[in-house]
Structure formats: structure tokens, C-alpha cells
Amino acid sequence: METKQRTEGKHISSWMIFLLAASCGLIVANLYYAQTLIGPISADTGLSAAAAGLIVTLTQIGYVLGLLFIVPLSDIIENRRLAVISLIVVVAALIGAIFAPNAPLFLIASLFIGLGSVVAQILVPYATYLASEEQRGRVVGNVMSGLLLGIMFARPVASFIASFWGWKTVFLLSAIVIALLTVLLSRVLPERKPSPAINYSKLLLSLITLLRQTPILRRRAIYQACLFAAFSLFWTTVPLRLIDEFGMSQQGIALFALAGVGGAVAAPIAGRLADKGLTRLLTGLAMLIAALSFGLAYLFQNNSTTALALLVVVAILLDMAVSGNLVLGQRAIYSLGSETRGRLNGLFMSIFFIGGAIGSSLGGWSYVHGGWNFTTLLGIALPLVALLYYFTEKRALART
């Protein structure tokens, strides 16, 4: 309690915001490197084409497990130590993946890469402990910008590096960077010792209680799950469209993926506007933008240069909607109470991450059975479902 009282309400420095933002981006990128490297990884590890998707799936499963079982620990364990231990797991798993002699060992390493990478979701709420109430939206927005940039840059960066030096170089460079980051964070992060009122087993059981008794958490998680499902649907299928309709190479797809980076600018803007009481308005706007972006993709389905340019616009608009709404959601749940932020964040992230997994699955299925036409219709429907639910929101819930 003593440490919390020393840090809560202080003004966080620009240097610390930058460090936390960069850390989150570098850490979470480990979840996405393999998405564009499935082919060469499968060839080297002897994984069959049918089972290649397990590379990404097990990483995501590890992440969800970490969200549910590790992130809540930040409410009872000193946060800096927890972050450092988790990062050591990431480094060990990355090295294990490089030297894995067969597919089963590589898949086990992938699971632990995802498990340890949840430290990003320990650092985001940690940043709010160092910020005053007036800073909270801006701080969350800036830190989440770093995280989102990590997500968006991971795929194209991995593709470019692997095209010159192979996929193992991607994992090796990441292991070196994360190891250096671990040393830096262990030295510069201030301690944050929570005052645990319950043990770990009761802490996990409290997740059910928190979900049941916190309507803002349920609502914001469902909003983001729908939007992240649309996001995942798009990024799962758009590479297939770029290959089928525009004949793009892997490097061309990597360049296209860079377009989505522009959408990350919405995160800090959304945070600042949320600090001014515009959360409810911006939430509805994010859903409308997401639906309209897919509508644009539906209307222009030929293989002309204009259609490709509009597809870039769609990528930027969709990423803006998803990243902006993510910051709005996190700011809202972080306002519910300091003692439960770790658990609230773990629940929020795991629910919307499940939405992303559903969107990825729907994307592969819809593109095979109905092509781009059916896929874009599903993309329109997902944010509209969130919008319908949004219209049931009472203003009392939106004040945060």
C-alpha cells in the first residue's frame, strides 16, 4: 500500500511513457512475427501444411492463458519483478524456438512465447499507477500506441528480415532486444507493491465475480471483441485477395501491411478526447467507421489501381477504429478501481482477444466459401452488432 500511495496520482514523465510504449510494442510483436513466416517455419520444422496454423494458434492460446492466469497476479505481486520474470520466459522461449529440432518442440516454444508476452498487459495498467487522473487517458493512449505499432509493424518487419536472412534471424533479433529490454526495465521501473487482500486461488475465482458485477467491463469487452473480430477478419483475408486479384509478392503484402500503421495515430487522440468526456460519442463513431470501411471494400471489388488504393484507405480506417476504441475501453475499465486493474485488464483483453480469434476463423471460412464479397459482408455485420449493443447503453455507464 505504501508504494502505491507514493506512485498513485503523480505525473508520469515523458521518458517513462516512451519507455513503456516502446516496451509494449516490442513485446507484443512476438505474437505476430510468425503469421507471415508460417511457410518457411513449417518447412524447417517438418510441420505439415494442414497443421501449420498451430504455430499462430498456440501462440495465441498461450497469450490468453497468460491474460487469465498471469496478468491477475499484478494485483498481488510486485509488478516490476513479475514483468522481469515474464520477459525472461519470452527470451528463453524465443531461443528454444530457434533451436527446436522438430515441430512439437517448436510448438511448445510458441506457447511459451505467447504466455510470457502478456507482460505487455501488465505494463499498460502499471502506467496508470504512475499517472494522475487528469493524465490517465493520454497515458493509456500513448502506451497503447506503442503496443499497436508493435502489432502493425511485426508482420511486415518479419517478412522483410526473413526474405534476406531467414526466419530464425527474426526470432534471434527479438530475443536479443527483449533481453536488453529486461535489463533496462529491471533497473529503471519503480517498484509497485500491491496490498493483496486475497490469495491466488481466490484471486482467480474473483475473476468470475468481477465479470458478473462489472457491467462496464462486459460492455467494453464486447464492443472491442466485435471490432477486433472485424480487424482480424480483414487482416486474415486481405493477403489472399492481394495475391489472387493483384498478384502481389510477399514483400508487396508487407508494404501493404505498413499502411495499417497509420491507424495507430487514433490511439493517443482518442485518449486525449476521452479525458474531455467524449468516450460515448467516440465509441459509436469507431463502430460506424469500422462498418463503413468494410462497406467501401464491398463496393469496390475489381482489381484496378483505384480499388487497391481504396483498400489501403480501408486498412487505415479500420485500424483507426479498432485502436481508438481499444484506448477508450481501457481508460473506462482503469477508472473502476486501482486494486483490481490487473484482473480487469486481463478479463478485458482475453475477451476481446477471443473475438479476434473468432474473426480470424470466420475470415478463412468466408473467403473459401464466398470470396471477398461474403467476407466484406461479414466485416460490415460485426461492428454493426457492436453498434446495436451500443444503443442499449445507459449514459450512466458511459460517463467514464
pLDDT at 184 over 90: yes
Q: How far apart are CA 9 and CA 59, in angstroms?
A: 36
Tell me what pLDDT residue 296 has. Answer: 93
How many residues comprise the chain?
A: 400
Q: Tell me the chain's radius of gyration from C-alpha atoms.
A: 20
The residue-averaged pLDDT of 385-391 equals 95
Q: How does residue 113 score in pLDDT terms, banded at 50, 70 and 90? A: very high
Supply 339's cell numbers: 486494486
Cβ atoms < 10 Å from Cβ of 172: 17
Percent over 70 (pLDDT), the chain: 92
Contacting residues for 239 by C-beta, under 8 A, at least 6 apart: 253
CB-CB contact of 291 with 282 (8 Å): no
pLDDT one-digit tens code per residue, 218-243: 999 999 999 988 988 888 788 778 87
- Report the alpha-carbon distance of residue 53 to residue 40 in Å, rounded: 13
Nearest Cα to Cα of residue 154 among 171, 168, 142: 171
* Distance from C-alpha of 70 to C-alpha of 72, rounded to nearest angstrom: 6
User: At residue 65, what is the residue type?
Assistant: L
Cell 447503453 locates to 393
pLDDT for residue 396 is more than 50: no
- Its pTM stands at 0.77
Task: For residue range 57-96, list pLDDT tens digits in order.
Answer: 788 789 989 988 898 888 888 999 999 999 999 999 999 9
Res 260 pLDDT > 90: no
Task: Spell out the domains of the chain, with CATH numbers in brackets.
Answer: 1-196 (1.20.1250.20), 203-400 (1.20.1250.20)
